[in-house]
Structure 1
Amino acid sequence: MTYLNTYKAPPPPVIPKHAHLETKPEEYDFNFYFDPKELITDRLQLRPLVPSLHARLLYDEIKKCDPSMLRWLVDYNTLDDFLAWFEGTIRSQPSALGYAIFSAPPGKEEPTKPEDFQIAGCCALINTDVGMMVSEIGWIIILEKFQRTHVLTHTAGLLAHRILDMPSEGGLGLRRCQWFATSLNEKSRAAALRLGFKEDGILRNHRVLVKGKEGANRGRPGDYREDCDSRDSWLACITWQDWESGAREHIDKLMARRK
């Protein structure tokens, strides 16, 4: 007996050098399932990330920070590395939408106009599934001088509102807002729980990491990626039921704090 199998691995995506660095903002295609939208509070704004507007500014600020900030994320050795990662992981995926985070300066209590906000990092909606009505908060990078400020709370709060609020309230009306983290990232896990996410559990050996990245498990001797660690993934979420029975008010109270 013979078995027909015509499968051929698709070629790797071709990502041009300087991916969209020169594309005019009005010509940049976000390629997302839903309409891109700016999200704003009195102290922070999430602007859909346009490489020609934000990539170089963001990359330059990331490189000023301690490299340990990217311990659990992709390392960007050059601006082209960042552009290629963003094109391949975010823009080319209809399930993802990247944001540049802009914030009032740290410690400034008086009102600040959005046009005077400073770059504070980046984040994204990822793994969005229209049919399953779910989206995930991910790829959060907060620049060092904005860590331990309002920035993470406002960023996550705005994204949770966008995912779980009904369309009449400016949201997408989805049913699940989820948060994934490597099991080793205790700060990320603590942040999610503080924000009101409920732990779902641990997915063991969930993802194989690129060579050199730290995971909870070493590679399997003799397999074709034995030199790459695997991570266990910690999963938490806020469901629409959680949102309507107190999680929304909890996040709003955190966002209303001045410190």
Structure 2
Amino acid sequence: MPAYKNDYKSEPLPPPPFECHLHTPVEEYDLNFVLPVTELRSDRVELRPLIPSLHAQPLLDGVLANPELLTWLGVTREWSTLDDVCDWIETVCRRDKTHLHYAIYSAPLDRLDAPVEEYQFAGTASLMEADPATMIIEIGWIIILGPFQRTHVLTHTSGLMMHHSLDSPEQGGLGFRRLQWKANSLNQKSQAAALRLGFQFEGIVRAFVVLPKGKKGVRPGRPGVANADREQRDTWMGSIMWYEWEEGVNAHVDKLVARRA
């Protein structure tokens, strides 16, 4: 058998806590995203890029008030300190150039006509796995803080990201071909949200993710190999194609947003 040369070297991460730029000015913070970055706005929600100096503390406060918000998210450890949130922002959000995480800001629930300057932090959401070569992108990492659940926030947030992803460049969008939504096969709320927004169920991808310790999947790890002690996630897969968007899903989403506008 011939010998093959392989000089691949993985650059190790520094030990935690990672530098997450808590004191880096907004204008100097590198979002490191493969596509242009812009804010997105409806009449009740504004999505602003996630910046540690602005959003790490309110995100931690919201999760500490409702720890169940992390149940279905692939965090490697539960959040109890600012360092935990900083590690996640740096390793999951900023270092992956295919991810752009947004801070969600909402009009106050008791004053929905308030000016944008008075909007309140309501959670986070992400455009992720962005691939300009194949023109595929995904919505994920949605965290809606407790007071804003079962309100307009999820609908408006999703609608903004859907329009941004699938609208043509002439309409101000990115013009992607395919928008994905993936969820743990056990997470029925996420699946229901995707179907309500017009995503088409494509199937279950078996053993698609090896979960962090303590996270619930439907399959045990394989004995004798790496991460054998971690459960595996079957992944629910949904999508919207660009032509489905133009043939009526966009109008459907606009009606959902208007119903909560």
Question: What TM-score bracket applies, with the shorter chain setting the length?
Answer: over 0.9
Of the candidates 214, 220, 224, which is equivalent to residue 212 of structure 1? 214
Shift of 1:108: 3.6
Q: Spell out, residue by residue over 1:68-117, the C-alpha distance to the aligned partner (whole angstroms, 9 max, x if none).
A: 221111232221111111111111111110100000122544x1111111
Of the candidates 163, 167, 180, which is equivalent to residue 161 of structure 1? 163
State whether residues 18 and 80 of structure 1, in contact with CA within 8 Å, keep that contact through their aligned partners in structure 2: no
Kindly provide the amino acid, as one letter, of the partner of residue 76 in structure 1: W
1:112 alignment counterpart? 114
Q: Unpaired segments of 5 or more residues in structure 1?
A: none
1:99 alignment counterpart? 102
Shift of 1:9: 4.9
Distance in 2 of aligned mates of 1:224 and 1:164 = 38
1:252 alignment counterpart? 254
3-state SS of 1:232 partner? strand
Q: Unpaired segments of 5 or more residues in structure 2?
A: none
State whether residues 203 and 236 of structure 2, in contact with CA within 8 Å, keep that contact through their aligned partners in structure 1: yes
Aligned pairs for 1:47-62 (under 5 A) are: 47-62=48-63
Distance in 2 of aligned mates of 1:171 and 1:40 = 13
Q: Spell out, residue by residue over 1:40-86, the C-alpha distance to the aligned partner (whole angstroms, 9 max, x if none).
A: 11111100111111111222222112x22211112322211111111
Aligned pairs for 1:1-259 (under 5 A) are: 1-14=1-14, 17-65=18-66, 67-73=67-73, 74=75, 75-109=78-112, 111-258=113-260
Of all paired residues, the percent bearing the same amino acid is: 50
Shift of 1:34: 1.4
Distance in 2 of aligned mates of 1:4 and 1:33 = 33
Is 219-228 or 249-258 further displaced after alignment? 219-228
Kindly provide the amino acid, as one letter, of the partner of residue 98 in structure 2: S
* RMSD of aligned Cα (Å): 1.5
Shift of 1:200: 1.1
Kindly provide the amino acid, as one letter, of the partner of residue 56 in structure 1: Q
Kindly provide the amino acid, as one letter, of the partner of residue 42 in structure 1: D
State whether residues 211 and 231 of structure 2, in contact with CA within 8 Å, keep that contact through their aligned partners in structure 1: yes
Kindly provide the amino acid, as one letter, of the partner of residue 49 in structure 2: P
Q: Give the total of aligned pairs.
A: 257
Detail structure 1 runs of 4+ shifted over 4 Å in the superposition. none
Kindly provide the amino acid, as one letter, of the partner of residue 68 in structure 1: E
Is 72-81 or 39-48 further displaced after alignment? 72-81
